[in-house]
Amino acid sequence: MKPTIAADFVTPFTPLCRYASYTVAAAVALCLAIPSGYSYAPALLSLCSFPILLIKRPHLRLERSDWLLIATLLFYLVVSASISAYHHLPSSSFEEPSRFLLTIPVLLFLLAYPPRESYWWGALIVGTLAGGAMALWQMFVEDRVRAGGFMNPIQFGNLSLLMGGLCLTGIGWARQQRHATLWWVALAVAALAGAVASLVSGARGGWLALPIMLVLLYLGYRRYLPKRTLALALAVLAVGLVVLYFTPQTGVQARIDRAVDDYQDYSAGVRMNSSVGMRLEMWSAGTRLAVQKPMLGWGESAYGQKLTGMIDDDRSRVIISHYDHVHSDSLDAFLRRGLLGLFALLLVYAVPFTLFARKFLRGGVGDTYAVAGMILVASIATFGLTQAFFRHNSGVTVYLFYLVVLWAYLRAAEQRTVASYVKGANADGSASALAGERLE
* DSSP code per residue over 176-245: TSTTHHHHHHHHHHHHHHHHHHHHHHT-GGGGGHHHHHHHHHHHHHTTTS-HHHHHHHHHHHHHHHHHHH
Identify the pLDDT of residue 423. Answer: 53
Identify the pLDDT of residue 339. Answer: 95
Identify the pLDDT of residue 428. Answer: 54
- Terminal Cα distance for the chain, rounded: 36
Residue type, 350: A
Contact status, residue 276 vs residue 63, Cβ threshold 8 Å: no
Q: Which residues 6+ apart lie within 8 Å of 60 measured at CB?
A: 66, 108, 111, 112
**What DSSP state is assigned to residue 93?**
G
What is the C-alpha separation between 262 and 354, in angstroms, rounded?
36
Identify the pLDDT of residue 420. Answer: 52
Name the nearest CA neighbour of 44 among 285, 397, 323.
Answer: 397
Identify the pLDDT of residue 258. Answer: 76
Identify the pLDDT of residue 409. Answer: 96
Identify the pLDDT of residue 421. Answer: 46
Element (H, E) at 420: helix 393-439
Identify the pLDDT of residue 427. Answer: 52
**What DSSP state is assigned to residue 363?**
-
What is the C-alpha separation between 109 and 52, in angstroms, rounded?
8
Identify the pLDDT of residue 2. Answer: 41
Contact status, residue 39 vs residue 98, Cβ threshold 8 Å: no
Contact status, residue 159 vs residue 203, Cβ threshold 8 Å: no
CA atoms within 13 A on the CB side of 12: 3
Tell me how far CA of residue 38 lies from CA of 108, 276, 374, in angstroms.
20, 28, 21
DSSP string, 268-315: TT----SHHHHHHHHHHHHHHHHTTSTTT--GGGGTTHHHHTT---HH
Identify the pLDDT of residue 5. Answer: 40
Identify the pLDDT of residue 257. Answer: 73
Please provide the size of the chain in residues. Answer: 440
Q: Which residues 6+ apart lie within 8 Å of 164 measured at CB?
A: 128, 190, 191, 192, 193, 194, 195, 197, 198
Contact status, residue 395 vs residue 344, Cβ threshold 8 Å: no
- CA-based angle 5:405:366, to the nearest 5? 30
Q: What is the mean pLDDT of each run of 10 residues along the chain (440 residues)?
A: 39 87 96 95 94 92 95 96 89 86 96 95 97 93 89 94 95 87 92 91 88 91 78 77 72 73 68 72 85 88 72 67 82 92 96 96 87 97 92 94 97 76 52 50
Identify the pLDDT of residue 80. Answer: 93
Residue type, 241: L
Identify the pLDDT of residue 434. Answer: 46
Contact status, residue 177 vs residue 153, Cβ threshold 8 Å: no
Contact status, residue 387 vs residue 280, Cβ threshold 8 Å: no
What is the C-alpha separation between 189 and 128, in angstroms, rounded?
9
In this structure, the dihedral spanned by the alpha carbons of residues 273, 279, 285 and 286, taken in order and rounded to 10 degrees, is 150
CA atoms within 13 A on the CB side of 11: 25
Name the nearest CA neighbour of 402 among 428, 434, 379.
Answer: 379
Angle at which helices 393-439 and 329-362 pack, to 10 degrees?
10
